[in-house]
Structure 1
């Protein structure tokens, strides 16, 4: 259980960052206007990911899924920024 919880805390932090970042950057208008709502939404999203991480069957699956989703989400943010689709 502690391994799955740790996966939710560590990898879930980066996954939540990617999810909130995608939503904030893809909304119309400047990203500065979504900074405070994004920061307020981050904690509930992170807690939800932590709770979801406890539903995995094993620690290894939790780390693999959450880690790969976090890397994919952050890579997507970087690609969007490199393509100049977001600022």
Structure 2
């Protein structure tokens, strides 16, 4: 269904974009606080890209599975980096 894919793009895509911005913010040299404004600027296009990519899937379950799985993987990586104290 179209609404299921739209929901996946909006909800799971939001969290996927947030995880990507967080990972890039921590990957860049220097303090992460210096990446807040560029991260906020990059967040919206990433979110819209994920929302648009949701319609490339054949169904809502696939869109939720892939986008939700990637978002969970991104946040798991953020958590692991923090737990291992590789970032501050």
User: Structure 1 CA distance, aligned partners of 2:15 and 2:87?
Assistant: 19
Query: Please, what is the CA RMSD of the aligned residues?
Result: 0.6
Instruction: List structure 1 runs of 4+ shifted beyond 3 angstroms.
Output: none
User: 1:67 matched to which residue of 2?
Assistant: 68
SS at match of 1:35: helix
Q: TM-score, normalised by structure 1?
A: 0.97
Q: 1:48 deviation in Å?
A: 0.4
State whether structure 2 residue 74 is matched by structure 1 residue 78: no
After TM superposition, list the pairs within 5 Å mapping 1:10-25 onto structure 2: 10-25=11-26
Distance 1:20 1:32 in 2: 12
**2:24 matched to 1:26?**
no
In structure 2, what is the equivalent of residue 43 of structure 1?
Answer: 44
- Listed as ranges, the gaps of 5+ residues in structure 1 are none
Rounded Cα–Cα distance in structure 2 between residues aligned with 1:26 and 1:85? 10
Helix, strand or coil: the match of 2:9?
A: helix
Q: 3-state DSSP class of the match of 1:54?
A: helix
TM-score by length of 2: 0.96
